[in-house]
Chain A
Amino acid sequence: MLAFILRRFFSSLVVLYFVVSLTFLLTTAQKGGPFEKEKMTATAKAEKERKYELDGPKWWQLARYQKRLLLERDMNVSIRYGDLTVAEILAQKLPNSLTLGACAFLIAAIGGVAFGFIAALRRDSWVDVSAMFFALGAISIPTFITGPLMIAVLGLWLGWLPIGGFGTWQQLMLPSICLGLPFLAYVARLTRNSLLDVMSQNYMRTAKAKGLDDSTALLRHALKVAILPVVTYLGPMAAYVLTGSFVVESVFNISGVGMVFVNGIQNQDPFLLCGAVIVYSALLVFFNFAVDVTYTFLDKRIKLHG
């Protein structure tokens, strides 16, 4: 177990290292470099490039950035945000994104399993059919359609929920529902299908033969096995929720890491962009890792090999 964790940890670090290096190379490879848009003389440009350690050949720039990152644990400064350090910017924006992501994640995970459970229990009834029809709709239609529509209908027309701002639970509600809805639908489908699979097993027949009613049998015996595919999906889901928050943040005007990322690309801000990528990739790698570990606790039959 420990060997597995260590191995996965190191391979994650290697992945992270390459991802960050590639991001750095790609952002600095942009035509003209980060200082192209500003009108300045060649000497001023060279001066700026030296100041931000973006002069010289590519590999040398990369080496200096990596040295700074690894040895001094410093993500450098943002070129566009008035020389604020990347760490400061991220520390300011990350809580918003994480709160939003966590709410959406909880809505999706809990709601999805509940809906999937009900649909499986009432298999082939109108509840099941309409729930699955609705689920496919929620999966197909992206958040940048549902978001503005929810604002228009729930926020402006009916006036039930506030559409802007961030902090109170009412303000958090629309964005997190909007972000969580497609994932809720996917989890519901996954739960339903895997529950139906498990229900056809012999031990389920035994459980029912012993006199358990449908819902108890499902809850006690089936759900524990059927939840496994859902758990596998939770890792990628956490990642998708994070990426999905880009759109939700832009629709609902929330200042989070997603907006930092988009602005970083549009402003060609290499250090800020790399910082955002580090945060995203680290979270993603961590979630995948956490899922693998959870897996062993849920199902003792699975042997890990990293």
Chain B
Amino acid sequence: MADGTSTANRWTGAPPNGWDVLKRNRVAMVSLWFLVFVALSAIVIPFFLPDALKTTSDASFSPPMSESADKQHVHYLGTDVNGQDLFYRLLMGAQVSMGVGLVAALVSLLIGGVYGMVSGYAGGRVDGGMMRLVDILNSVPSLLFVMIFISAFDGHFKDALDGMRLYGQEKHWQWLEKFGANLIPYSRIMILVIALSFIQWLTMARIVRGQVLVLKELAFVTAARTMGQSGWAILWKHLWPNLSTIVLTYLTLTIPAVIRDESFLSFLGLGIDDPAASWGSLLKDGAQVINPLDSKWWLLAFPAGLMSACLLALNFLGDGLRDAFDPKSND
């Protein structure tokens, strides 16, 4: 190779690794570090904030950098209508929004990945039927259904959790009772996650299927089959590792989609409600108080800024990943 005989126009190197391509993409790397920074701040900083800032107070609508009512602390980003510190609310909102995005994307990956792999690997009539179902589901206005789904099952879900708590109480299983009691305030978020992951798996299924259709014709799959491995083993051991980068790419693109949908619902008042906060519900509060007479700009500007920056970063990162690992796709 490096003997000097190779001419300049003959390419002798190894094909570029996707990770190297990604590392050269400066925008994507900046986005990645920014997201890590935001996620870490959202998890760590609330532990160090004084408790007085975390509750409601009389100082409603105080502008940024103003002192709190007892002159002990500073509201860096101002307060909202209930006198809650916006900085703290914003971080909690980031926890909820990013958490919902990540979990729903992972669940959609689980469903879509398995569905796509089975469909692609089975091929023929099974594949046709399964993809037909995806087409039909795709032609249903999914967000409308999420709204109806949440409102239909929210009450029942809460009841089920409460039932679990009571069952634990009855049987003197303290852990179950505690578990149920701890989950009840989060029931709305959980049902939101379930609903959102159920609509997001369609794209994933399609992409995984397409990839499996290509991969299953390759020699190593035939070899595995002749050696007597079962279909499931081939899927899990041989196809899945080859799918992981493309799956990671679309996972990164699913997260902002979920975050956007969640905020959309919360903005309309159908998603996360008080006292929990997400970027969408914060924006709803912010949008309600813009008026020409007395501008409370910080309630809108800071959540909008942070959310836009995070969504942009996620999309840049996803685009970078796609350029690196799925160069043929362009959309």
Residues of A within 8 A of B (CB): 15, 19, 22-23, 26-27, 29-32, 136-137, 139-142, 144-145, 147-149, 151-152, 156, 189-190, 193-194, 197, 229, 239, 242-243, 246-247, 250-251, 261-262, 265-266, 268, 273, 277, 280-281, 284-285, 288
Decide if A265 touches B147 in the complex (CB within 8 Å): yes
Contacts known (A144-B263, A151-B290, A247-B267); A284 close to B139, Cβ less than 8 A: yes
The answer for the CA separation of A250 and B292 in the assembled complex, in Å, is: 18
Contact of B58 with A by CB under 8 A: no
Decide if A27 touches B308 in the complex (CB within 8 Å): no
Decide if A190 touches B155 in the complex (CB within 8 Å): no
Contacts known (A145-B304, A288-B139); A140 close to B315, Cβ less than 8 A: yes
Decide if A136 touches B319 in the complex (CB within 8 Å): yes
> Which residue in B148, B286, B312 is a CB contact (below 8 Å) of A23?
B148
Query: Helix, strand, loop or mixed for chain B's interface?
Result: helix
Decide if B155 touches A148 in the complex (CB within 8 Å): no
Decide if A137 touches B139 in the complex (CB within 8 Å): no
Decide if B148 touches A193 in the complex (CB within 8 Å): no
Q: How far is the CB of A286 from chain B (nearest CB, A)?
A: 11
Please give me the residue from chain A that is nearest to B138 by CB atom.
A236
Decide if B270 touches A281 in the complex (CB within 8 Å): no
Contact of B1 with A by CB under 8 A: no
Please give me the residue from chain B that is nearest to A192 by CB atom.
B330
For residue B136, which residues in chain A have a CB less than 8 angstroms away from its CB? Answer: 15
Q: How far is the CB of B31 from chain A (nearest CB, A)?
A: 11
> Which residue in B290, B291, B330 is a CB contact (below 8 Å) of A193?
B330
Decide if A141 touches B155 in the complex (CB within 8 Å): no
Q: How far is the CB of B215 from chain A (nearest CB, A)?
A: 24
The answer for the CA separation of A45 and B191 in the assembled complex, in Å, is: 29
Contact of B13 with A by CB under 8 A: no
Decide if B152 touches A30 in the complex (CB within 8 Å): yes
The answer for the CA separation of A144 and B153 in the assembled complex, in Å, is: 26
Contacts known (A144-B267, A193-B331, A262-B270); A26 close to B300, Cβ less than 8 A: no
Decide if A285 touches B139 in the complex (CB within 8 Å): yes
The answer for the CA separation of A197 and B269 in the assembled complex, in Å, is: 43
Decide if B308 touches A140 in the complex (CB within 8 Å): yes
> Which residue in A19, A32, A144, A197 is a CB contact (below 8 Å) of B283?
A144
Contacts known (A144-B283, A145-B308); A156 close to B156, Cβ less than 8 A: no
Please give me the residue from chain B that is nearest to A12 by CB atom.
B139
Contacts known (A137-B312, A239-B141); A250 close to B152, Cβ less than 8 A: no
Residue total for B at the interface (Cβ-Cβ under 8 A) = 47
Contacts known (A142-B260, A151-B290); A266 close to B270, Cβ less than 8 A: yes
For residue B268, which residues in chain A have a CB less than 8 angstroms away from its CB? Answer: 246-247, 250, 262
The answer for the CA separation of A256 and B148 in the assembled complex, in Å, is: 18
> Which residue in B144, B156, B270 is a CB contact (below 8 Å) of A277?
B144
Q: How far is the CB of A269 from chain B (nearest CB, A)?
A: 11
For residue A29, which residues in chain B have a CB less than 8 angstroms away from its CB? Answer: 152-153, 156
Contact of B264 with A by CB under 8 A: yes
The answer for the CA separation of A288 and B143 in the assembled complex, in Å, is: 17
For residue B280, which residues in chain A have a CB less than 8 angstroms away from its CB? Answer: 144
Decide if B140 touches A19 in the complex (CB within 8 Å): yes
* Known pairs A190-B331, A265-B151 / 17 extra A-B pairs, C-beta < 8 Å: A15-B140, A26-B149, A27-B151, A31-B155, A136-B312, A140-B256, A141-B312, A142-B264, A144-B264, A144-B267, A145-B283, A156-B295, A239-B141, A246-B268, A281-B141, A284-B140, A288-B139
Please give me the residue from chain B that is nearest to A32 by CB atom.
B155
Contact of B297 with A by CB under 8 A: yes
Decide if B316 touches A136 in the complex (CB within 8 Å): yes
Top 10 A-B pairs, shortest CB-CB distance: A31-B155, A26-B152, A140-B311, A148-B287, A193-B330, A140-B315, A144-B267, A145-B304, A141-B308, A140-B312
Decide if B300 touches A148 in the complex (CB within 8 Å): yes
The answer for the CA separation of A141 and B314 in the assembled complex, in Å, is: 11
Please give me the residue from chain A that is nearest to B150 by CB atom.
A265
For residue B290, which residues in chain A have a CB less than 8 angstroms away from its CB? Answer: 148, 151-152, 156
For residue B155, which residues in chain A have a CB less than 8 angstroms away from its CB? Answer: 30-32
Please give me the residue from chain B that is nearest to A197 by CB atom.
B330
> Which residue in A151, A251, A284 is a CB contact (below 8 Å) of B141?
A284
For B294-307 the 0/1 string (1 means CB < 8 A from A) is 01010010001001
Q: How far is the CB of B60 from chain A (nearest CB, A)?
A: 20
For residue B331, which residues in chain A have a CB less than 8 angstroms away from its CB? Answer: 189-190, 193, 229
> Which residue in B140, B145, B147, B264 is a CB contact (below 8 Å) of A247?
B264
Complex interface residues of chain B between 246 and 264 (CB less than 8 A to chain A):
256, 260, 263-264
Complex interface residues of chain B between 135 and 174 (CB less than 8 A to chain A):
136, 139-141, 143-145, 147-149, 151-156, 159
